[in-house]
A and B are shown apart, each in its own frame.
Chain A
Amino acid sequence: MTALKALLRRPTGVFGVAVVVGLVVFSLVSLVWTPFDPTATNPDQGWLLPFSGGHLLGTDRLGHDQFSQLLAGAREALLTAVLAMVIAAVVGIALALAATVTPRWIGATVVQLIDILIAFPVLLLAMILAAVYGGSTTTAVVAIGIGFGVNVARVARGEINAVRGTDYVLAAQACGANTGRIIRKHLLPNIAPTLIVQLSLTMALAVLAEAALTYLGYGTNPNTPSWGGMLAEQQAYLSARPLLVIWPGLAVVLTVLGLNLLGDALRVATDPRLRDAR
């Protein structure tokens, strides 16, 4: 609770929280209501300007209502961010623990594995998944989650090693606490601040990565409205219809910005040293 208060004391924190809240509200609203069916096309109603024909933000070439697509796209963005984060967290923590609390030879092997996986391009993973299962949010999210998960693992490993060396963990070990207990009571709570920061940054990167993958043709399915899909679709009409690319572009930029600032603010809010300093 104090962390949240500390968060809300900073303007960047307020902005970050506002973006997340906005994203959630948009997503929830889109579940029950959008002004138009976001997937409905109407070739006779293409290229409408904002505020015409009941279309708040106008329509694209095929007559998709842009506001409805933007609302529904929020859902996809939230899903991408959260799922990628969850996968990254699971992969990251599992690998980090495997690298630290296991016998030395297993740990060393896992450390190497992490290094190898970091060197493996996420893009290729996404391509392979998209080739096997068809491009979709799920395949993109899995690739992004695993890709960033190994980065999280690397950071978390460092943190865990630092915490393990501290007196209280050594004391707990000396008192005969088992590994599971040490992980639960000491390791995870202590690396949580770092993890939360890393994971909020992962969420931001996931939204960006999804847009890039969709642009390359390996991301979200085109008949699921998504910001990346809107950008990829509208980019061709950049010179003729600049307004159309502003909306999904702004949505992506604001979301990524908000999640990044949230991560930064969380770092400051959860790190007493930084809170005093700045």
Chain B
Amino acid sequence: MRRALMTLAPLLVAATLVACGTGAPTSAGTGATSLPATPPDAQLNLGATVNVRLTLEPTSLNPFSTAGAALDQLLLTNVYQNLLTVDVHKQDAIVPQLATGYDESPDGLTYTFHLVPNAHFHDGTPLTSADVKWSLDQQTAPGSLGIYAANFASINSVAAPDPRTVVITLKHRDTWLLWNLTQREGIVYQQGTNFASLDAKDNGSGPFTIGAWNRGSTITINRYNAYWGAKPKVATVIFHYIPDANTANNAEQTGETDIEATADPTLLQPFGNSSSFTVLNGSTTDKFTLAFNDAVAPFTNPAVRHAIRQGINNADVIKAYGGGIAIGSDVPPQDPWYQDLTSIDRYDPTNARKLLAGAGFPNGLSLTLTVPNIYQTAITDVLTSELKQVGIALTVKRVEFQTWLSQVFTNHQFQLSLVDHAEARDIGNYANAKYYFGYDNAQVRNWFAQAGTASSDADRDALLKQVGKQISTDAASDWLFLAKTFTVARQGVYGVPSIETTERFDASGLAVAT
């Protein structure tokens, strides 16, 4: 028996050592960090298939009434289109998509959009202003089940005076309108679309059509050869939904995938020193937010909130996650109302302990942190360790996302919560006293309301800057960091999207060398 035991250890070691010629891990690759420009068509394989690893599979392919960022990631831009879209390479600038441009009336109440001449849906029907009107009407109709339908509450009416002109009339100024038109709720569907049928067959106007959905595994999109705009340079893109970071890494290393989106930044060592791969990193709107239940004790006392913020070293949390930046509030740098607020509640464990003592907890306190089990444990490991240093005994409760939704988000039964608030421009959550943050500051609510109806973007941005600063000064939450996203691309693949790819993975620029 004992002899058998002795042979075990070398066996296991051998099995694992074989695979360890990959050198020291680095947090990000040391190889090239940007891709060369896409070569001319003659050097490309226009019939290529690109295999892409994504993380989270959509729950449905009906973007009208099913929530989930995975739907946006797959469907926006690739399959469905909006009047306007977001240019991630230009700091999220709002740019035309189905519209050639728009005119805004001086009072800000009327927007006139001019459509591109040749757009059509995948069934061949031309896309006209009637389709745009119908789509927006579905959102604003009473009792609409459209996701984010509420974002169009300011719309009074939509008119289609001629096939290529759409006029949106507002009840009041709405500085969010154009942004909202770039998002899910602004998708232009064919008039009369039965949304329930979109799961079976798409009918968008984008450069790709949905091929097959192999549930639990892959979704294939095919180039739409009659696309009205510049046609994609690859024939097929297969999205492989592989949640496990390690499995995804293996798939990329073995060539089973060409692109690994949202790669775990702590696992990039096999790609960093290799000339066969490029590791791209890009910005996101993923704000990892440590929320306090501001409405209940002990968080009703701002000193406790400040103490927790000062007890956490954001640099350590970022290192544990693998890549990101400190932002100090709910605003990422690509938003026009960004300002560097990292000086508020800087890491200061000594002061944190003092603050807790002043708040009536000289011997520290015990708190429970509810976190969905989709996030890596490294972040909460660091929080546990660092908060212990200032006298807070943290219990981490890992739950399914749905349980988090039910207990924390809906019923507000929590003390601390950690989720990635991935939605762009979501600072309005802090102006909603009923939101799970439980944060209620009348001044902030006022500023935010004024920003929504401000007469210029500059006015809006100034007001939102005040909001951003106030919520940080109040320590409404702790914004641990803004994540960076890492994308691994195999050599010979061009046009790989790398910025904000969890919001939309724009496959239209992909190309493969022959």
Contact = CB atoms under 8 A, between A and B. Distances in A.
Q: So, do A and B actually touch in the complex, CB under 8 Å? A: yes
B245 A134 contact: no
B8 interface: yes
A238 B394 CA distance: 29
Given A43-B319, A43-B382, A62-B382, A223 B373 contact: no
Interface string A211-237: 000000110011100000100010111
Interface residues of A, number: 43
Given A222-B398, A223-B394, A238-B16, A61 B269 contact: no
A246 B12 contact: yes
Interface residues of B, number: 44
A239 interface: yes
Contacts of A64: 381
A199 B483 CA distance: 47
B398 A250 contact: no
B266 interface: yes
Contact of B381 (A222, A237, A241): A222
Contact of B316 (A43, A235, A239): A43
Contacts of A132: 403
Interface string B9-47: 100110011011010010000000000000000000000
Contact of A62 (B13, B249, B381, B397): B381
Interface in A220-278: 221-223, 229, 233, 235-242, 245-246, 249-250, 253-254, 257, 261
A41 B17 contact: no
Given A41-B385, A43-B316, A222-B381, A239 B16 contact: yes
A224 B382 CA distance: 13
Interface string A31-53: 00000010111110001000000
A22 to B, nearest CB: 13
A130 B400 contact: yes
> DSSP majority for the B interface?
helix
A221 B398 contact: yes
A95 to B, nearest CB: 30
A54 interface: no
B177 to A, nearest CB: 39
Contact of A15 (B1, B22, B245, B320): B1
B93 to A, nearest CB: 36
A237 B25 contact: yes
A15 B398 CA distance: 37
A64 B386 CA distance: 13
27 contacts: A15-B2, A37-B385, A40-B385, A41-B381, A43-B316, A62-B382, A130-B399, A131-B402, A131-B403, A134-B399, A135-B398, A136-B397, A217-B373, A217-B398, A221-B398, A223-B384, A223-B396, A235-B246, A236-B249, A236-B267, A237-B267, A238-B19, A238-B246, A239-B16, A239-B22, A240-B22, A253-B8
Interface of B: 1-2, 5, 8-9, 12-13, 16-17, 19-20, 22, 25, 245-246, 249, 264, 266-267, 269-270, 316, 319-320, 370, 373, 377-378, 380-382, 384-386, 388, 394-400, 402-403
